[in-house]
Amino acid sequence: MYSSGNPTNIANPIKDASFQIDIITGGGRLTLFQTTLCEKIQWDEINSDVNFDAYNKNDIQLIRCQPDASMFWLVSDVVRRRFIEFLDWDRDMVITSTWLLTRERPKGKEVVKYENPVNSEDLPEPSDVQKALNGSTISFRVYNLYPRYFRVTGSGEVRSFEQEVTSGDISVSADLVINHAALEWWSFHDLNSSHVRDCENWTGPMAIIVSEETPPQGILGDTLSKFSIWGLYITFVLAVGRFIRLQCSDLRMRIPFENLPSCDRLIAICENIYAARAEGELGVEEVLFWTLVKIYRSPHVLLEYTKPD
């Protein structure tokens, strides 16, 4: 089915991207940094030493977001104080980074969400976050926020790269800086973006993403995108195999007599074979058996034996 439909895979680049960082405690979730100002740059336009020989360069994009949040941090003083109080007694603080990526296909899975919780050993001390929130300092540092390289499969899943495929830093660490003015906003300062030569001085969130090709739109293309070729193959093999088994069950027991005009003489020979076996007349049984074989081996004789009376 796959080959007969001849669905040539086509590029499925990322059309839109956004990035945000949340901090979560027992008191709830607070969004610190959020931006929708993200550039999508094709990999062949970038000067880099990263080895992507195993992938088509047309499928690789550098997603580069602005270092300053695209919206102000509008949190009331009351909410801020309560969140700082939660950090005093709730030591299970969690920081997550989230990429939202939009593609044209597959249908129903155009938006891909990749959320990465930071490991506890890479988190800042709660006191560092408190100081940034109450104005004592302006920043805190988070290590290994998200992997620098990942790929989005044709079915809409996000998977990280094997480490040997990439070079340089494979995860992103950053300082989160709060800017005080009439209105406040957060900034993202990447600690190491120098391996991408055209982005040495870029401090905003960056990710190098492979968006895998997908079949074209249509019934066949959408089906293959959702189920993959292996899932589709297994489904059809099991379904068709089940149908054939139901239709052909015990067919070898029916073909020799069901489609013949009259089988009384053949049935009589078969009954005589069983009667001879029951009486121990093995010689008679053998003669009758070979008579039946010769009848079926010769279409002319078979038609003579099955003529209606």
Q: Who wins on pLDDT, 4 or 41? A: 41
Please give the structure tokens belonging to residue 102: 């939009």
The pLDDT value given to residue 6: 46
pLDDT of 232: 64
Distance CA 270, CA 272 (A): 5
Whether pTM > 0.75 for this model: the answer is no
Render pLDDT for 34-74 as a digit per residue (tens, 0 to 9). 999 999 998 888 776 677 777 788 889 999 999 999 999 99
Whole-number percent of the chain with pLDDT over 90: 39
Q: Per residue in 196-222, pLDDT tens?
A: 666 777 899 999 999 988 776 655 555
CA distances, 154 to each of 20, 104, 158 (Å): 24, 11, 10
SS3 309: coil
**pLDDT (tens digit per residue) in 82-129:** 998 888 877 789 999 999 999 988 888 889 999 999 999 999 999 999
Q: Which of 81, 56, 89 is nearest to 213 (CA)?
A: 56
Q: Are 119 and 176 in contact (CB under 8 A)?
A: no
pLDDT computed for residue 190 by the predictor: 92
Give me the amino acid identity at 201.
Answer: N
Per-residue pLDDT band for 3 (boundaries 50, 70, 90) equals: very low
Confidence tier at 228 by pLDDT (50, 70, 90): low
Q: What is the pLDDT of residue 1?
A: 42
User: Residue 166 — very low, low, confident or very high, per pLDDT cuts 50/70/90?
Assistant: very low
Reported confidence tier of residue 301, pLDDT bands at 50, 70, 90: confident
Residues 6+ apart with CB under 8 A from 309: 262, 264
Contact 46, 57 (CB under 8 A): no
251 confidence band (pLDDT: 50, 70, 90): low
Q: Look at residues 86, 70, 13 and name the one whose alpha carbon lies nearest to residue 204.
A: 70
What residue segments make up the domains of the chain, in order of their start? 2-216, 220-305
- Residue 49: predicted pLDDT: 66
Q: Which residues contact 3 (CB under 8 A, 6 or more apart)?
A: none
Distance between CA atoms of 272 and 266, rounded to whole angstroms? Answer: 10
- Report d(CA 211, CA 167) in Å as an integer: 19
CA neighbor of 128 nearest in space, from 142, 111, 149, 113:
142
Helices (H), the chain: 2-5, 77-89, 126-134, 219-248, 251-258, 264-279, 282-297, 299-305
pLDDT exceeds 60 at position 163 = no
Burial (CB < 10 A; 0-12, 13-18, 19+), residue 219, is exposed
Task: State residue 256's pLDDT score.
Answer: 62
**Residue the block writes with tokens 């008579």:** 291
